[in-house]
Chain A
C-alpha cells in the first residue's frame, strides 16, 4: 500500500474507533431511555435516531456543513472554545459519523434492553443493588452480545462512510482523508489499480466484521428464548 493510502487507513481507523467509543457512551443511556419510555414522544425520538438509515448522507452532510461554519452558532461556539475551525476538521467528521452511525448502535441496544425487561432488575433491587450496580451486574452481562454487535456495526458503518465526510470534511490528508474518499480520488484519476486495492480491502474488512457479528449472536439464541419465556410468564401475575 502506498504511503498516502496508509495515512488514509490510519485516519479511518482513528475516526471509527473514536466514533464507536462516543457512540457507546451516548447511545447506551439513549437506548435505555427509549426502551423504558412509555410516552407518545417515543416514536418521534425513535424516528430521529433512525433518520440516517433512510436519509441521503449528503442531506445530513449539507446541514452539518452549515451548522459547523463559523457563521452559525455551533461552529462559532466551537471556534471560541477550541480556537479552531470546526468545518473540514477531524473533529467535524467524528461528530458527523456519530450522528450518521447512531441508529446502528442505539437500535440493537434498545432491542436488547426491551427483551431483558424489568423482572430481573426488580429482583436485583430487592437484593440491595442500586441502579448503577444493576446495570453493571445484571444488564451488561446479559446483553453483552448486543453491546458487541452494536459496537461492531457502529465501527463498520463509520468505516464505510462517504457522503457526510465529503460534505463536511473535504479531502485533507492526515485530517479528513479517509479510505472511501481516497478510493473516490483514485477513480477520478483513473488509477484503477489503487482503487481496486482499497475497494477489496474495505469489502473483505466489512465482510469479516459482519460474519463475526452473526457468529457471535448464534449461541446466545437459546438463552434469549429462556429469558423471553420467563418474561411471558411474568405477565400472568
Chain B
C-alpha cells in the first residue's frame, strides 16, 4: 500500500504554469465512422471520457496526440495550436508535448525498465522532473534492472505511466490503462494517478468504459456516443443524468457521492461518512480510507429499498428519509429519485412494489441500504 507523499514542494513547481483549456473542434470521417467534436475542456484534475467501445473515445485521444492524420478542424492546447487544418498546421506527435499511456503498455522490449524511463528523459527538453522522484512515485525502485518482458501487467503499466510523465507533457492522455489489470493493480494504479495528478498538477484525460474506475479519480466526465459528446460536467451530476438516459449495457444505475469521512472506524469496522450535519452513511472500513479526508463512493440503485416508515428493528445500518422527486418506469421496474438532505438518491424497485406501496411524487419515504452496498469499486 502506498502512503501519500508529503514532499510536494519540489515537483509542483514544474507544472505551475499549467494549461487552462483544451479546445477541440474537429471532424473525422471514415467510411463507417464519423467523429464530430466541438468542446472546450477545462484542464483541471482528471477528466474522464466514458462511452461504448465504438463511441470514438480512443479516436479522440489519438487525434489530440497527433496519431490520427485524417482530420479536419482545430485543436488548441493552452494557447498553443496543435492542429489547424485551414492554415495547413499539423504538429507531429513528437512536437505536441502530449503524453499517452496505452492500454497495452507499449514498452520497448530491447530496454530494461530503467532504459525505458531514460528513453523519455533523454528526449525531454526541460528536465525539470527528477527521475528518482518519479521512480519513487510509481514504486519502481526494485524493478529498474528488470527486462520489461519479465514484468506483470500492472508493473508494465506503472513503467508506461512513469515513462509518459518523464517526457514532461503538458497534458497526459490515458487510453483504458487499467482494462487488462486485476483488481488490486487497478486500485494501485488509480491511486498513483491521483497522487501524480495532485503532486505535479498535471492535467489528465482518462478514457475508460468503467464508470466505477472513472468516478474514483475524475472531477469532470465527458460522455461520448457514436462519435459525439452527449454530456459533459461534474462527474456526480453526469452519472446521475446517465441513470435516466444511459445504456444499461455499459452502466449500473447508481447514486454517486463524494462525502467527507467523519470517522475511519466506529469500533465495529464501519467507516462513517457525513451526508449532512445530522445524517451519516456507514460503509465497511478499508485500510485505504485511513489516509483520506473524503471518499468517492456509489450505491447501486438496485441495492436500495424503500419503506413507508423508518424500520428501527432492522439489521440494515443505513436509514435515510426523503421526498420522492421523480418516478420513471423501465420495463418491469421503476427508477425512483428520492431527495434527502439536498442529495438525490436513485432507487430501483419492481413495478409490483411501486404499486403495492402506491408511491407518488412528493411522498415522504425512508430508504434502507446495507453498509456493504456503499461501494468504492465493483468487486
Contact = CB atoms under 8 A, between A and B. Distances in A.
A237 B67 CA distance: 14
B103 A237 contact: yes
Interface residues of B, number: 30
Contacts, number: 75
Interface string A198-237: 0000000000000000000000000100110010011001
Interface stretch (B31-39, B42-50, B92-100): B92-100
Given A119-B102, A119-B104, A233-B104, A126 B167 contact: yes
Nearest to B160: A123
A141 B120 contact: no
Interface in A112-130: 119-120, 122-130
B110 A129 contact: no
B92 A119 contact: no
A53 to B, nearest CB: 31
B175 interface: yes
Contacts of A123: 100, 102, 106-108
Interface in A55-79: none
A89 B156 CA distance: 57
B100 A126 contact: yes
Contacts of B124: 128
A142 interface: yes
Given A119-B102, A122-B67, A223-B149, A127 B109 contact: no
B94 A142 contact: no
Nearest to B166: A127
B278 interface: no
B125 A128 contact: yes
Contacts of B98: 126
Given A119-B104, A123-B102, A223-B149, A128 B109 contact: no
Interface string B62-89: 0001110000000000000000000000
B74 to A, nearest CB: 20
Given A126-B100, A142-B109, A133 B123 contact: yes
Contacts of A129: 94, 119, 123
B284 to A, nearest CB: 35
Contacts of A127: 94, 99, 119-120, 123, 163-164, 167
Interface in A91-145: 119-120, 122-130, 133, 137-138, 141-142
A230 B106 contact: yes
Given A122-B67, A122-B93, A237-B58, A128 B106 contact: no
Nearest to B149: A226
Size class of the A contact interface (CB-based, 8 Å): 20 to 34
A72 B213 CA distance: 72
Contact of A128 (B67, B100, B167): B167
Interface in A142-174: 142
A133 B104 CA distance: 23
Contact of B123 (A119, A128, A227, A233): A128
A223 B148 CA distance: 11
Contacts of A125: 66-67, 92-94
Most B CB within 10 A of own CB, among A124, A126, A128, A237: A126
Nearest to B175: A237
A233 B99 CA distance: 21
B110 A126 contact: no
Given A127-B163, A130-B94, A122 B123 contact: no
A122 B62 CA distance: 10
Contacts of A142: 108-110
Interface of B: 58, 65-67, 92-94, 98-100, 102-104, 106-110, 119-120, 123-125, 149, 163-164, 167, 175-176, 180
Closest 5 CB pairs of A and B: A128-B123, A125-B93, A123-B106, A141-B110, A127-B120
Given A123-B100, A127-B119, A128-B124, 7 more contacts: A124-B108, A124-B119, A125-B67, A126-B94, A126-B100, A128-B120, A142-B108
